Structure 1
Amino acid sequence: MRARFESRHQADTGCIFVVESDEVVRSALQFILRGHRETHGFKSLDQALLKGAELTPEIVMLGIGFLQSDGERMLAEIARRLPGAKILMVANSANDPLARNSLKWGAHDVLGKPIAFDSVHCKVDALLGRRGNSSALLGLLPSSAAW
């Protein structure tokens, strides 16, 4: 018997930009978010900003490496060119000093590694103002409740 996963968010119409220079991380995030929201991956911020001229994302997931040289200016530029988009930093740790500074500079939240389905979905749902049952709660069910 085959089970088919149906996202509970299929009716949503917004999109997410994943801006990450590391192809493995970028691909993993896009894989995790498929079916959750329309997702566009970009190797550079310039590519994302060009796409943003025709399609404004609800969330920009931004790799922390993009903030190495002038993070405050970079986040201000994203906010100016993609108005209304929430910025979710992707960092090695939520306690990384640069990640913590990004919150002062305009980022909305930080996703620390390791990246997992539940952590990504919970962060995205929180930024979109969703509440409700987390898929993490399914792990609390006894094995006899498996379907």
Structure 2
Amino acid sequence: MQIGVETSRAVENKRIFVVDDDEIIRAALQFMLHDEYETHEIGSLESAIDKAASAKPDLLILSENVVKAAGLPVLKEISQRISGVKVLVIVDSLQSGFGKESQAAGAHGYIVKPLTVEFVRQKVDVLLGRRQGVAIPLTVL
């Protein structure tokens, strides 16, 4: 069992792949989530899909850059290749509209930078069914 994790959560430990070409962002997200989730840092989408064959993730957290490099259709492809996986996209700006485009293309949600521990954990908890969704005003994003 991981230190600081409630027993009920440790039993149902979920696996998350953080996929970003930026090592610092990957490390920050891994740090935010590692005490409650089995979190893996992965540098490319191809590597994440390969790893999913032997260690299926419950959630993929993808950077905007990763999604843009692969193209928005990759979001539907991911759900076909990794059954039951949820996808969360980290976007650089709310004004760009890329978060909404990602959701329309198949992502289950998005988070806008700058990232905070509380908001990342809340969003991940909701997507993985550990917490009920709460409406958060866009000004807080």
TM-score (norm 2): 0.83
Report the secondary structure of 1:10's partner residue: helix
* Between 92-101 and 18-27, the greater mean CA deviation after superposition: 92-101
| Partner residue in 2 for 1:16 | 16
Q: Counterpart in 2 of 1:80?
A: 80
Q: Distance in 2 between matches of 1:48 and 1:70?
A: 13
Amino acid at match of 1:7: V
What CA deviation, in whole Å up to 9, does each residue of 1:58-116 have, x standing for no partner? Answer: 11000011222553321122111111010000111344322210000100010111111
Change (3 A) 1:94 1:15: farther
CA contact (8 A) 2:60 2:88 kept: yes
CA distance in 2: counterparts of 1:49 and 1:130, whole angstroms: 25
2:50 counterpart of 1:46: no
Aligned residues: 129
Checking the alignment, whether the CA contact within 8 Å between 2:19 and 2:60 is kept in structure 1 is: yes
Number of the residue aligned with 2:111: 111
- What is the distance in 2 between the residues matched to 1:122 and 1:96? 23
Amino acid at match of 2:66: F
Answer yes or no: is the 8 Å Cα contact 1:52–1:81 preserved in 2.
Answer: no
Unaligned runs of 5+ in 1: 135-147
SS at match of 2:11: coil
**Residues in 1 aligned to 2:111 and 2:131: alpha-carbon distance in whole angstroms:** 18
- Alignment correspondent of 1:34: 34
RMSD value over aligned CA atoms?
Answer: 1.8
Q: Please, which of 4, 7, 13 is the counterpart of residue 5 of structure 2?
A: 7
State the alpha-carbon separation in 1 of the partners of residues 30 and 36 from structure 2.
10
Computing the radius of gyration from Cα coordinates, the structure with the larger value is: 1
Retained in 1: the 8 A contact 2:122–2:131?
no
Aligned to 1:93: 93
SS at match of 1:114: coil
Unpaired segments of 5 or more residues in structure 2? 135-141
State the percentage of identical aligned residues.
36
Normalising by structure 1, we get a TM-score of 0.80
